[in-house]
Structure 1
C-alpha cells in the first residue's frame, strides 16, 4: 500500500493511539502521524511537546514520521500528495462522530478514510479522560507509553 496520514490532537498520546499507529505502520509504506492544531483548544502539552513525545514513542517504527498541521486536513493531504486518512475507533460513538467527517473529506477532495478498531483493553481510554484522572491524582501509567506518562506526571506535579 501507499502512504497514509493518521491525524489527531494526541494531547496526550495514549496506548490506544500507539496501537493504531503500530497497526497502520505495518499496512502502509509510509505513515505520517499528524498533530492537528486546534487554536480554540488549550492543551496540556504544546504542539512541539506532542510532536517530540510521538517521535519518541514511534522511533521503533520504520516508515513513521510526525508532522503538524493547522487548517483543513484535506489541504494537508493535498499539499503532501496523500489520499488516505487512517483513524482509530474505540466504539460506536467514535464511529458516529467520524463517519460524517470521512464523507465530507471524500466529497471535498476524494480522500478515503480507513477505520481501525483499537484493542478492547483501550476502548475506554481517551486523552481527555487520562488528563482528568491525572489532574485528580489517579494513576494513568497503564494507559500511556512510558515517555508520555513521565511527561504527564511532570505536568501535574508528580
Structure 2
C-alpha cells in the first residue's frame, strides 16, 4: 500500500488544500493529512477543531478517488510523523516561487534525516494559487466574503469563531 503524508496547519482548511488532497489521492492508496499542532503560529482554531474540519471535508472524497483519507494530528518532526504513519511520500503544495525556497530547504533537511521518504510538490490550480489560510482569516476578521476560498462548512466555522471573539 502506498501511503502519503500531506502536512499542514490547516487553520482553516481551504479549497487550495482540498485541491492538493484530491490530486494527491491519485498518487497514493492512503493519504494521511497531518494536522500540525504548531502553537507558534497562534492558530485561530484548536487542534481538535482543525482535525474535525479536515475530517468533515473528506466527505465523499474516498468514494470519488478510491483513496483512504485519514486526519492525523502531530507535533514532532515531519520526517518522524512520516515514519509514524508509514508514509514513504510527503506531499507538499506550492502556490508561488516564494513557497519553493522554504520547501526546497525542508526537503534537503528531510533527505538527510531519512532518504527513504520522497517529497513530491504539487502546484495548486491557478484559481487556488492565491489562497492562504492567513489571508482567509484576515478577510473573515474584517467582514469580507470568504466563500470563494473555503467550503460553506469552513466559512460557517470561521463566522462562528469570530462571533465568539
Is the shorter-chain TM-score for this pair beyond 0.5, marking a shared fold? yes
1:45 and 2:45 correspond: yes
| Equivalent position of 2:103 in the other structure | 98
Name the SS for the 1:55 alignment partner: helix
> Take 2:95 and 2:41, find their aligned partners in 1: how far apart are those partners?
22
CA distances 1:102-142 after superposition (whole Å, capped 9, x unpaired): 11111111121100011111111100001011101111111
Structure 2: gaps spanning 5 or more residues:
63-67
> Take 2:139 and 2:100, find their aligned partners in 1: how far apart are those partners?
25
2:124 aligns with one of 113, 118, 121: 118
TM-score by length of 1: 0.95
> How many pairs were matched up?
158
Hey, which bits of structure 1, 4+ residues long, moved more than 4 A? none
Coordinate RMSD, CA, aligned: 1.4
Cα deviation for residue 79 of structure 1 reads 2.2
> Take 1:112 and 1:104, find their aligned partners in 2: how far apart are those partners?
12
> Take 2:6 and 2:84, find their aligned partners in 1: how far apart are those partners?
15
> Take 1:6 and 1:80, find their aligned partners in 2: how far apart are those partners?
11
CA distances 1:28-60 after superposition (whole Å, capped 9, x unpaired): 100000101113232111010011111111121
Structure 1: gaps spanning 5 or more residues:
none
